[in-house]
Structure 1
Amino acid sequence: MSRSLNEIAAKLRALRPADFDLDNVEANGGERLAALSERDDPQQWAPLLYSLMERLDEADLGSPGPIVHTLEAWSGYHPALAESLRRKPAPLTVWMANRVLNLDPPDAAAWLELLHQAAKHPAASAQAQSDAHHFLEYQATRR
């Protein structure tokens, strides 16, 4: 039975950083997140996933994990990813931007600019800023 968007939103809002603590054997955030990611209409609930990545930007949400796999399976995720990067870059969104650049898209300059902005974004965590710097260095060696 399909869960409603409101039910999924409530379950995503209930997730806390402690749910992803790898040192806690009782933490089950990854399993809960994977179960929530089993939907076939990501365009409707992708904003909830970006919001989660922004809110829990210091939690280990996977590498790449169910969020990234779900979003990347949706062909229309680029505009929402760009919006999330402008709002509050998070390690996973910065990482996703790097993955976009690895495909050498025609709008690579715009994605590089988003990474430059992420590297100094005042709302970005130190980790997101550091990751953005790292990916910019990496992308410079590819071009």
Structure 2
Amino acid sequence: MFLGTYTPKLDDKGRLTLPARFRELLAGGLMVTKGQDHSLAVYPRDAFLEVAEKANAASRGNPQRRAFVRNFFAAADEQHPDGQGRITISIDHRTYANLSKECIVSGSGKFIEIWDKAAWDAYSAENEESYSLGVDEVLGDIL
């Protein structure tokens, strides 16, 4: 399980060093794709394949579902961390997530998210009240 928040920097070649705590879980390969709210989602290869199977089995009759499935697969990029635990973030992914040098890598359970630090700070500030309230309609089936 991926937990915690880390602040690696994106280097001039578009490489990002994964947190040491995450490297073992990602050593067998990983998939980077578009995430929610202009973040990137990074899945261990096996976890990505589980989601991919569900996506392939889903009806594409709903336009929103169809758009999600298309984007999820079209934006997927397989990566293998190098000896220093770095992955290369593609130009398309850097543009989508508006990544600058300062990044946030956060655990999100079965996957990790990569955010631009300024975007993460704004998102966190904007959503802190919702998190604090823990509205039953939103979290009833989680907590």
TM-score bucket (shorter structure): under 0.3
Determine which structure has the larger helix proportion and give its number.
Answer: 1
Determine which structure has the larger strand proportion and give its number.
Answer: 2
Greater RCO, 1 or 2 (C-alpha within 8 Å, sep 6+): 2
